[in-house]
Every structure is written in C-alpha cells, then in structure tokens.
Structure 1
Amino acid sequence: MPQNTYVMVPGAWHGGWSWRPVAERLRAAGHRVVTLTLPGLGDGDDPANRRLSDAVDHVVAEVERLDLSAVVLVGHSWGGYVITGAAHRLVGRVAKVVYYSAHVPVRGRSLVDDNPPESAAFLRGLIDSSPDGSIAPTLGFVRQLFLQDSTPETQRLVADLLVPQPGGYFLDALDVDDVTTLGIPALYVLSEDDHALPLPGAEYAARIGLEPVLVPGAHDGLLTHPDEIAKALV
C-alpha cells in the first residue's frame, strides 16, 4: 500500500507536467501521486472567463472522484490559493497542506491585491490589455523570475511549455481563513533563490505560524531540484 497520497497543484502558467520530476521520485518511494492541470491551463485551453472558484472546484472534484483520503495537498506558487480553498472543502480527506514557494492567501485579498502597489498595477494592466483577460507567459518571466539559475536552453524549453494565465485567477479572493483554522497540519517549503514571490517566502510561512524549510534552486526548483523537494515533502 502507498505510504501517502499526494495531490499536486501547479502554479500560474504551469500544468501538472511541472510536478512530474518530483512526482516520479515520490512514486519510486512508494507513494501515490496525482498531478493536476487546472482549468484554462492545459495545452490549447481557453483562458477567458475563468474564476478562482473554477480551479478550487476542479481540485475538489478530482479528489472526490478518485475517492482519495489522507491526502497531502501540495501547491506551488499561485497554487497556494487553490489548495487553501480546496482544503476547506475537503476536511476529512486532507491530512496535510504543503505550500512550496507559494502564496499563503489572506481572506478577502486577491493575489493582485496582495502584491506591492506597483506590481499590482502592472498585473492589472496586463490583464486589462489582453483580449481574453489573460497574462501571456514570456521568456523574460522564466529568465528573471522562475529559473534565473538555469541554462538558456532550459529556460527556453520551460517558456515554450507555459500557457497564458487566466486573469480571474489573480483577481479573485478567497472567503476562507487560513488552513490552521481547520486543524490540518501545514508545511512551508521555500526555494533558497526564489525571485518570483512578491513578498519574502518567510513572510508567507509566518502567516500560518511556520518557518520555511529551505531547498536549493529558484522558483521553479521543482524542475531542477526534484530530489531535494521530494525529500522535503516526505
């Protein structure tokens, strides 16, 4: 029997593929792993008119469809919003919530609103200027924010795999408190060279009373340092 059941939620612009290197290592250790691609973030998906509730609904539906229990719910980056919302609806099925270089949301505050004012205005401008209300990925994002420590070849490959991020996912807030109010254990894992989070990772961890567990790599260290991240999750 598997030791744990991990449900892995990707960050913005990413799909379930981004968790595969970590997932393969967890499976090799005997764990069950489900990697999810959220609505609007699959290859060829339409990002228009997506709301944060769509992403949360998808995670809840998949856990219930697969009849999973004792779930370790893991979210990367923006996925912290999704796992927080899902955990509140999966009480009794979720045994632990893990934030990896992730946002820890504040009730009633969207990701955009939780950014410093200049960054918030920049994100709103990108969304407002897009015909489908999405934020297109760029090679610059990858080079400067996600994988600044990787080779140009790796950066280009990851940039080619990213898809537009539905703007509604950044503009919507959760109407729930943090997961500690549910009595569910939590863990915060942070890449040491993360340049993508708008606030220091330690500040997000402190929102749920934690000190971050540090792992090597940049924001997308799940692709470049899967061994260390898998070990931290276990």
Structure 2
Amino acid sequence: MNFVLVPGAWHGGWSWHPVGQRVRSAGHGAYALTLPGLAMGDDATGLRLADAVDHIVAEVERRDLRDVVLVGHSFAGIPITGAAPRLGGRLAGIAFVSAFVPLRGQSMADAMGPEMGPWIRGTIDASPDGTIGVDFASFRASLMQDEPEHLQRLVYDQLTPQPGGYMLDALDVDGVGTLGVPVKYVLAERDLALAAPGAELAARAGVEPIMVPGTHETLLTHPDEVAKAIL
C-alpha cells in the first residue's frame, strides 16, 4: 500500500513524519504532502479549495502511485474527499484521522457553526493575503490541551496561516461511502477541535470510529497508535 498523508489546517507534511516513518517501517510507502500555500515562503493569495484537491491528485499521478490510501487529518478530510473519486483504480482506501467529513455543499467555515463561521469569513476578508491564522491561546486550549507548554510551543511555531479559500469553498461530490473502497475513521479520545462529535463524523463515512489516545494533535503525540490504526 502507498499511504498519502495530507495535513490539516495550518500544518504541513512535517506533521505526518512520525506516523509516516512507522508506516514505512511496516513495509508500506508513505508520502507526506504539503498543500499549496502552507510551506514557508509560499504565496497563499487567491488559493481555493480546488487547488488543494488538484494538488493531491497531481502528486499521486506524478509519482504514479497505485494501491493508494488517502489519509487526511482535520481539515484535510475535505480535500481528500474531493480527490478520492478522481483517483479511479489507483485508490485502495481512505482514512480520516480526527478529520472533518464534509457534507455536500458544506465548507469548513459552515461546519464551524453560526458563531465561528462569520468570524472566519470576516478574518479572511480582512487579511491582506486572504489567509487565516490561529493564536497560541486557542491552539493550546483546543488543539493540544493538557500537553506540556514547551511541546505546545514547538508545534505551534511550525504552523503557517491557512489559505482562506480552503475554508470558504465547498465540495459538490458524493460521500466516500459510495466509492467502494475501505474507509476508516480514527478519533482521538480527547479531541476538542472538531465541529461535530467524532462519532457523527464517522457515521457520515459509514463507519464506527477507531479510538486512539491524545488530543487533536494525536498524530504527533501518539504516532504509534495512529500508525497502527491506519494500517
């Protein structure tokens, strides 16, 4: 199998390296992507959700990968849902890791609810390059709560502002349950960052959640358990 690992909002491929190393040690391929606009020095101006979806598909095709398992963390549940039907016979499975499972026509901003959604849109509109960041207080309270502050700081300092179009655009595709490939939903036990209960999100994908320890950043703090779950 070839596991294509797609990071969540503000994260790059670096966030998947601990899990990816364990996947490789188990004898599989592992490819950690960084979506456009999320590498240091990238110009995020004007990027839309379609650019993220296109990038995933293009990387799979460029590398000529077969037996592909698309793995998405957090926000990346949206672009992997968009990319999956375009991979055809290359696709062998899908795994969501504490990830959003989008409804048709629902953007990330929409999924965050009637209070957070307008704030996200306003913040993006006010940004010179149309991006949105996360402050440290919010990060430590909801994405990596209860972990040591030095570890929170280490992870936070890697983050990059998210292209706003990734948050504002929605997909017009069928759910992953229609693709005829195995689907998994891996849920961190102490995740506080999801816009809906993890069991509800897993149900959208037609599965029961596989529980792993940790917070929303479980892929960094508990890579052994996450790797075992997706394998």
Distance 2:150 2:7 in 1: 22
Letter aligned with residue 23 of structure 2: L
Distance 2:138 2:28 in 1: 33
Deviation at 1:88, TM superposition (A): 1.1
Quick one: which of 7, 14, 32 aligns to 1:17? 14
The reply to whether residue 226 of structure 1 matches residue 223 of structure 2 is yes
The aligned runs of 1:1-234 (5 Å cut-off) are: 4-234=1-231
Letter aligned with residue 9 of structure 1: V
Distance 2:138 2:31 in 1: 27
Count of aligned residue pairs for this structure pair: 231
Deviation at 1:115, TM superposition (A): 2.1
3-state SS of paired residue (2:89): coil
3-state SS of paired residue (2:95): strand
Letter aligned with residue 226 of structure 2: I
The one-character-per-residue Cα deviations of 1:153-183 (angstroms, maximum 9, x if unpaired) are 0111111100000110010001101111111
Identity within the alignment, %: 60
Distance 1:158 1:146 in 2: 10
3-state SS of paired residue (1:132): coil
Letter aligned with residue 103 of structure 1: F
Distance 2:22 2:208 in 1: 25
* RMSD between superposed Cα atoms in Å: 0.9
Q: Is the 8 A contact 1:188 1:211 kept in 2?
A: yes
Distance 1:140 1:14 in 2: 17
Distance 1:144 1:185 in 2: 34
The one-character-per-residue Cα deviations of 1:182-218 (angstroms, maximum 9, x if unpaired) are 1122110000000111111111111122111000000
3-state SS of paired residue (2:4): strand
Letter aligned with residue 226 of structure 1: P
Deviation at 1:55, TM superposition (A): 0.5
Distance 1:61 1:38 in 2: 11
Deviation at 1:137, TM superposition (A): 2.9
After TM superposition, what 4+ stretches of structure 1 lie above 2 angstroms from structure 2? Answer: none
Deviation at 1:125, TM superposition (A): 2.0
Q: Is the 8 A contact 1:137 1:159 kept in 2?
A: no
Distance 1:192 1:149 in 2: 13
3-state SS of paired residue (1:78): helix
Distance 1:184 1:171 in 2: 28
